[in-house]
């Protein structure tokens, strides 16, 4: 079953614009991670935010986490054509095991 | 590149057949997880192995089974293939059972006819 739900499902923007994707989840978490997937290939880890953190930056990426609302957002600033990909949020629960539970993803298309 | 490799890259099977997919973990990683990703969906957790023992399992039937070897490479076996088993199968390695970053391989795309 999917835990996270990303919103929007698809997003089309121009190069240089910012892209914002949102993720909601259902259960308590240890951390939340964002991954990128190009053309149905393997997933690449982008950023991890722990449950006691509210905001984290990495290069052009900014992630926020609101555990009271069980939601997170990923902001990509000054987007490039190379950012075109599917983006997934994944949660790691506080329960035993380290399986990640993924949402259905947001497909981002950046045109030049 | 994450250092996680998977073979084969593509595979076509017919319904009822059996398939074995292979994964080589990133150096030093003793935990491997397998995920199934249907078209247009996010990856779904199949199971995880830690030091050759199954450490957790998702909502998949027993015909999905796995192995982890002493060198921490892993296999996913699927018996009695069904059409709905057509998907991208991803393995991911991580260090010790930490709830941290998982490093994904490129995946094996399985088509069941």
Q: Hey, is the C-beta of B30 within 8 angstroms of any chain A C-beta?
A: no
Contacts of B94 in chain A (CB under 8 A): 98
Cis peptide before A8 (omega within 30 of 0): yes
pLDDT over threshold 70, residue A4: no
pLDDT over threshold 60, residue B10: yes
Cβ atoms of B93 and B32 within 8 Å: the answer is yes
**Position with higher pLDDT, B73 vs A5:** B73
Cβ atoms of B86 and B44 within 8 Å: the answer is no
Token couple for A79: 């987007």
Q: Hey, is the C-beta of B45 within 8 angstroms of any chain A C-beta?
A: yes
Other residues' Cβ atoms within 10 Å of the Cβ of residue A108: 21
Token couple for A72: 């997170």
Q: Is there a contact between B104 and A44 if contact means CB atoms under 8 Å apart?
A: yes
Encode pLDDT of A48-94 as tens digits.
999 999 999 999 999 999 999 999 999 999 999 999 999 999 998 76
pLDDT band at A1 (very low <50, low <70, confident <90, very high): very low
Query: Which residue in the set B42, B99, B109 is minimally distant from A103, CB to CB?
Result: B42
pLDDT at A51: 92
Contacts of A33 in chain B (CB under 8 A): 101
pLDDT over threshold 70, residue B48: yes
φ/ψ bin of B3: left (φ > 0), alpha (ψ from -120 to 50), beta (otherwise): left
């Amino acid at each position: 079953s999917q835990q996270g739900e990303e919103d929007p499902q698809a997003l089309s923007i121009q190069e240089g614009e910012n892209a914002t994707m949102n993720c909601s989840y259902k259960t308590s978490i240890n951390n939340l991670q964002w991954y990128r997937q190009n053309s149905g290939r393997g997933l690449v880890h982008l950023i991890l935010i722990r449950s006691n953190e509210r905001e984290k930056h990495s290069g052009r990426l900014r992630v926020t986490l609101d555990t009271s609302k069980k939601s997170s957002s990923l902001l990509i600033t000054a987007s490039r054509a190379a950012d075109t990909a599917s983006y997934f949020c994944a949660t790691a629960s506080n329960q035993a095991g380290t399986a990640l539970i993924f949402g259905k993803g947001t497909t981002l298309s950046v045109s030049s | 590149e994450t250092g996680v490799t998977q073979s084969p890259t593509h595979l076509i099977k017919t319904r009822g057949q059996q398939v074995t997919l292979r994964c080589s973990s990133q150096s030093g990683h003793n935990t491997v997880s397998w995920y199934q990703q249907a078209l247009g969906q996010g990856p779904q957790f199949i199971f995880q192995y830690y030091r050759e023992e199954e450490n957790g399992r998702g909502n998949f039937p027993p015909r999905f089974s796995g192995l982890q070897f002493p060198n921490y490479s892993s296999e996913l076996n699927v018996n009695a293939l069904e059409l709905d088993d057509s998907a991208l199968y991803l393995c991911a390695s991580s260090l010790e059972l930490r709830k941290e970053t998982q490093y994904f391989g490129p995946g094996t795309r399985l088509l069941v006819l």
